[in-house]
Amino acid sequence: MIKVGFIGLGTMGGPMACNIASKGNDLRVFDIAPAAVAKLVARGAIAAVTPRDVAASSDVVVTMLPDAPEVEAVAAGPDGILAGLRPGSVWIEMSTIDPGTSRRLGARVRAQGSDMVDSPVGKTAEHAVSGTLTLMVGGETATIARVRPVLDCMGTDFFHCGDLGAGHAMKCLNNLLATTLVAVNAEILVAGAKAGLTLDVMTAVMQKTMAWNNQLAIAYPARPLRGDFDAGFMLKLAHKDCRLGLTMIHDMGLTAPVGEATLAACQEGLDAGYGRNDVGVLLKLREDPAGVQVRLPGHTP
């Protein structure tokens, strides 16, 4: 049994924490939403008063938060993680943030005699529930081995990407590419429908060419092609991840004009009021001005 502390019990973090508890670990949790904490307490977790309390009571601390400012907020101050970390403990940072933040915090953690691993996740909330997330891990091999039993509670696809920060770098670039595919698929499907092509014809041809991609194969049929734009992965989070990926690219002195266009498409969706919708709402964003809809047979908005 491992003493684990979990901070951030949202759409992804809540089920991830549940899976840690279900494997028999001693779990202490913290979130600013009392209802989220109550769900975990009902599963046997102990509610913590502050992030410091979480860290002081845990061998492994996990954070799963919206962005870097939230991660830094729970880390700093007299009630923060850094104030409570015990020597020899490990902090696993699983949010989607920039690699620079994780490396900077990691240096402070190591200075206190503890260590840090970054492990942002891939896939969906459904995979968070089933414990089959993709884990993109950065950190020292020996430290990762120590926390591998905790990571294995949450994911089944494990990738050691490199040193601390490499996991966050991989996640930012992965999500920029994934969102780019969502955006360009929307443009092409709507253009095809406007040209008189059916969805069946377009997908049949694309499956036999280099145009095929997992967004068309999996994500699009699951939601947007059914007229379902309810939140799975919210557009505002896709926008944030694209911004992080582009900032990382620019900081290396590189350019990414296609990625910039994707960020602009996401911003267009936010401006249209779709921020809390699924990222697949970019299809609707293109459909409305075109006066066409692209749907699977039997599905209407």
236: annotated active-site residue: no
Averaged confidence pLDDT in the chain: 96
Say what the pLDDT of residue 234 is: 93
Tell me the pLDDT tens digit for each residue of 189-229. 999 999 999 999 999 999 999 999 999 999 999 999 999 99
pLDDT of residue 281: 98
Domain 3-164 has CATH 3.40.190.10: no
Dig out the tokens for 190 from the structure: 């709507």
Catalytic residue, chosen from 39, 171, 236, 240, is 171
Distance, first Cα to last Cα, the chain: 49
Band (pLDDT 50/70/90 cuts) for residue 299 is confident
* pLDDT tens by residue, 74-119: 999 999 999 999 999 999 999 999 999 999 999 999 999 999 999 9
C-alpha distances in angstroms, 97 versus 34, 207, 282?
24, 34, 23
Beta bridge partners of 47: 29
Mean pLDDT (whole number) for 13-33? 96
What is the CATH code for 169-290? 1.10.1040.10
Q: Do domains 3-164 and 169-290 have the same CATH topology?
A: no
> Domain map of the chain by residue range?
3-164, 169-290
What per-residue confidence (pLDDT) applies to 300? 66
The whole-number pLDDT of residue 97 equals 96
φ, ψ for residue 167 (rounded to 5)? Answer: -65, -45
Residue 301 has pLDDT above 60, yes or no: no
Q: What tokens does 123 get?
A: 């896939």
Mean pLDDT over residues 44-62, rounded?
A: 97
On the question of pLDDT at 167 being above 70, the answer is yes
- For 108-151, write each residue's pLDDT tens digit: 999 999 999 999 999 988 999 999 999 999 999 999 999 999 99
Q: Which two tokens stand for residue 61?
A: 């601390």
